[in-house]
Amino acid sequence: MMVFTNLQITAFFEDNAQMGLSNWTHIHLQAEGIAHPTDLTELVKKDSWDQVLKNCKRPPQISGPNNAGRMMAQQPFQLPTKLLLRLCIAVKVVDYHVQMNRALSTANMMWVWLNNFQVEWDTIPEQKK
């Protein structure tokens, strides 16, 4: 596994040309255990996504700003469909690299490369026919 710097990890998750998550949602995913691109392997199974989405919709309560003893609801974390689709493609790419014992790099985790991977991945079933 290649070492990603903190700046590269943040860019992967938050840059609009990459996954495009808000900082707030990125921090939430870190709390869920998705802190590095390789952590996306945890989301290969569909039911894993279901739990992440459920947790984004119903975040834990936080202490009230005026009364620390009073809990209040947080605003749900935003995970728009476009970003979810990008994350799903990134999951496939990470899983492929892990299965093929290939190192991840910032270059092969760029959205342009991920999107090309998806196009090629989608043609495989067609070639088998």
pLDDT at residue 2, rounded to an integer: 60
pLDDT at residue 128, rounded to an integer: 64
Q: Is the dihedral of CA 16, 42, 53, 55 positive or negative?
A: negative
pLDDT confidence band for 8 (50 / 70 / 90): very high
User: Nearest 5°: phi and psi at 45?
Assistant: -80, 140
User: Which 3-state string (H, E, C) describes 34-73?
Assistant: CCCHHHHHHHCCHHHHHHHHHHHHCCCCEECCCCCCCEEC
Contacts of residue 10, Cβ cutoff 8 Å, sequence gap at least 6: 26
Q: Which of 14-28, 33-47, 67-81, 93-107 has the least mean pLDDT?
A: 67-81
Q: pLDDT tens digits, residue range 18-43?
A: 999 999 899 989 988 899 999 998 88
User: For residues 105 and 97, is the Cβ–Cβ distance under 8 A?
Assistant: no
pLDDT at residue 66, rounded to an integer: 78
Distance CA 114, CA 82 (A): 14
Distance CA 62, CA 27 (A): 15
Above 70 in pLDDT, residue 44?
A: yes
Above 60 in pLDDT, residue 1?
A: no
pLDDT at residue 63, rounded to an integer: 75
Contacts of residue 68, Cβ cutoff 8 Å, sequence gap at least 6: none
CB atoms within 10 A of CB 5: 9
CA 129 to chain centre: 32
Q: 19 is written with which tokens?
A: 């996954």
